Amino acid sequence: MSFIEGRAWTYGDGINTDLLAPSPYLRHSLEEGAPHCLENHDPDFAPNVREGDIFVAGESLGVGSSREYAPHFLKHLGIRAILAKSFARIFYRNSLNLGLPPLVCADTDRIGRHDILRVDPSAGTVENTTKGETYTCDPIPAHLMEMVASGGLLAHLEKTLKKAG
Amino acid sequence: MPQTISEKIIAKAAGVDHVTPGEIVTCSVDLAMMHDGSGPGRAGKQLDALGVAPWDVSKIVVITDHYVLLDDDNSVALQRAATEWTATHGVTKFHEGEGICHVVLPEGGHLKPGMFCVGGDSHSPTAGAFGTFMVGIGATEMTGVLATGEIWVRVPETLRVHVTGTLADGVTAKDIILKLCGDIGIMGANYQAVEYTGPAVMALPMDDRMVLTNMAAELGAKTGIIAPDATTVATLTSLGVSDIDVDTWQSDADATIARTITIDGAALQPQVAAPSSPENAADVSEHAGVKLDQAYIGACTGAKLEDLRMAARVVKGRTVKDGMRFIIAPSSKRIHEKAAAEGTLKILEDAGAMILPTGCGGCIGLGPARLPEDAVGISSTNRNFVGRAGPKSSQLYLGSAYSVAAAALTGAITDPREFLGEGDVP
Ligand code: SF4
């Protein structure tokens, strides 16, 4: 998987799925729902996030519901990688399944809002070009990297089922 | 090699003799449960788009609960997707509007000890009360399961929660789990399987055990589980389940436990979690007197027959405080009917409760139990994150059905033991 370069959107601990994908919008389409992402926490996020940006959070990112819309809203709005000190397990798996690489990174406190980051998901490195720093992340487990690189579980299934059939 | 119950179930599902925590294995799924939110209208559609048939329709259960009784176009479309998808693929285990998925699943006789199950909902660990290993997954992951019948699993460590002694009258499973949320936090058991043991746990009826496993999700756990015993067998048998193996599905005495937390059951006080996280739990006395606008008994975790009985015991012969909204949505139709037949619903209604049809509703801020702007509520549900049960300006406390009912009477957070004088109902 190649480099992802974009601006950082930084948040603290415990950003839960109700904040990322508020319950009133779960039955809506992605297009209708995504603009409400984080509206109860940071109303500036959804209108201003751009293609290629990177979501940065502290501990327990994505805690709560199994709703796939939480990472899917982020992806729909343009987020291309997620860094956090720790992830709730379903959110982590959902992100991988959507082909949106989640990286466990202990140094997210060092990242400032809108710092420019260059993320290499395969190597598990993050270069903060604004600050001139480099951070090392836990690598994505090898058995999953291929799935993420091929664009997520659906793309992967399409490939493997075709091969099998 | 000694193993925990979770490891035994995963090993069986992976077709190996034993597994070790941290190891990644591929498991065959015994049952996949989906609801109207993430199921047929999402995972089902994705599967159809792949042009693949479900791997085994006899192992798929579809239960509509999140958007039942709502009439907006999106809700209607999701209900219709469930009806059509199950019909197209011949899924006969389809429960439409019968209640909330985690409660209808055992009621329908779909669970038994030793099964390895997945559910398209984060509270899927509820099934662990029956000695089942069940994890919550998202919609795309479910698509993968529907296509292949398999899922990869990182074998979890086991965190044991051992509750000693006997709970005092007025103290419930909800208080045990809220206490845990307060003590170890909403990620305190991240990736782990929480196994509940001890006399105070095994004395609980299934309705209450389900509260412990349901809210393992609020500890960040992969699942929660309780080894089966005579209570499990009696309940499952009454639901028409046969061939129940209790002996195999126990943790070995010398199995590796990553961490044990012991709770003194006799000393436990009723717990209330302050806005806006279950981990803000504390003894009810710390929040006593906080003024409230609404008291809600509902959700998969908080409106089972035992919960309704607790509430009835508190409000029997009393009246809801003027200006309080006291709303009850039973966890399933079957529970509603039983509570009606035994007189429990009448006691609640006579006290001034509004009884709603079953469904997720108020738990996710939908329907008549949605908290209004600036309102402060208490509920027997499992999450109180900002914006979940109402607008950003609303606030939600969590407590047991006893505590919610007591609050309905006084209009403020109240120690429910003040109202437990009169004995059993009905
Ligand atoms: S009642 Fe609430 S917690 Fe339970 S399944 Fe429904 S939305 Fe989820």
Q: Which of A29, A88, A157 sits opposite B144 (nearest CB)?
A: A157
Q: Which residues of B touch A24 (CB under 8 A)?
A: 365-366
The structure tokens 């090392």 sit at: A136
Q: What is the model's pLDDT at position A165?
A: 58
Pocket around ligand 1 at a 6 A CB cut-off: B 65, 100-102, 121, 123, 299-300, 360, 363-364, 381-382
Structure tokens at B254: 């010398």
| φ, ψ at B390 (rounded to 5°) | 180, -170
Q: How confident is the model at residue A33 (pLDDT cuts 50, 70, 90)?
A: very high
Confidence of residue A164 (pLDDT cuts 50, 70, 90): low
At B120 the pLDDT is 98
- Pair B327, B296: CB distance under 8 Å: yes
The one-letter code for the residue type at A67 is R
pLDDT computed for residue A141 by the predictor: 84
Predicted TM-score (pTM) of this structure: 0.97
Task: Kindly list the averaged pLDDT for each block of 10 residues, start to end, along chain B of length 426.
Answer: 97 98 97 97 97 97 96 95 98 97 98 98 98 98 98 98 98 98 96 97 98 98 98 98 98 98 98 98 98 98 98 98 98 98 98 98 96 98 97 98 98 97 55
Amino acid (one-letter) located at A47:
P
Ligand 1 atom closest to B65 (CA): 6
How much is the pLDDT for B421? 77
Q: Which of A95, A53, A71, A85 shows the shortest CA–CA distance to A16?
A: A71
- pLDDT at res. A142: 82
Nearest-CA distance B66 → chain A (Å):
9
Burial of B333 (0-12, 13-18, 19+ CB in 10 A): middle
Helix B305-315 vs helix B206-214: angle between axes, to the nearest 10 degrees?
110
**B323 C-alpha to center of ligand 1: Å?**
27
**Distance of alpha carbon B303 from the chain centroid:** 10
Q: What is the pLDDT of residues B167-194, one digit of tens each?
A: 999 999 999 999 999 999 999 999 999 9
pLDDT attached to residue A160: 86
Could you say which DSSP state residue A24 is in? G
Residue B374: is it exposed, middle or buried by C-beta count within 10 angstroms (0-12/13-18/19+)? exposed
